[in-house]
Amino acid sequence: MSIDDLLIQLSQNRIDPAANSMNSVPESTGLYLVLLKAGVTLPKLFNKVKFSEFNNSMLLYIGIAGSEKSKRNNLRKRINDHFEGNNAGKSTLRKSIGVIFGYKLIPRDKNPRTGKTKFSAKDEEQLSNWMKQSLFLYFSQHSTPWTVEDELIEKYNPPLNLSGNKNTINANFREIVSQLRNPIS
Residue 68 resides in a domain: yes
Q: Which pTM does this prediction carry? A: 0.92
3-state helix, strand, coil in the chain (%, to 5): 40, 15, 45
Residue 48 resides in a domain: yes
Classify 170 in phi/psi space as left (phi over 0), alpha (psi -120 to 50) or beta: left
pLDDT at 141: 94
Residue 79 resides in a domain: yes
Domain count, the chain: 1
pLDDT at 71: 60
Q: Do 116 and 109 contact (CB within 8 A), yes or no?
A: yes
Residue 59 resides in a domain: yes
CA distances from 174 to 30, 157, 167 (A): 25, 11, 10
Residue 99 resides in a domain: no
How far is residue 54's CA from residue 35's CA, in Å, rounded to a whole number?
Answer: 8
Residue 183 resides in a domain: no
Residue 9 resides in a domain: yes
Residue 15 resides in a domain: yes
User: Residue 95: which H helix or E strand, with range?
Assistant: helix 92-100
Q: What is the span of the domain harbouring residue 155?
A: 3-85+135-166
pLDDT at 68: 65
Q: What is the mean pLDDT of each run of 10 residues along the chain (185 residues)?
A: 90 94 91 97 93 97 83 84 80 93 85 77 93 96 93 96 93 95 72
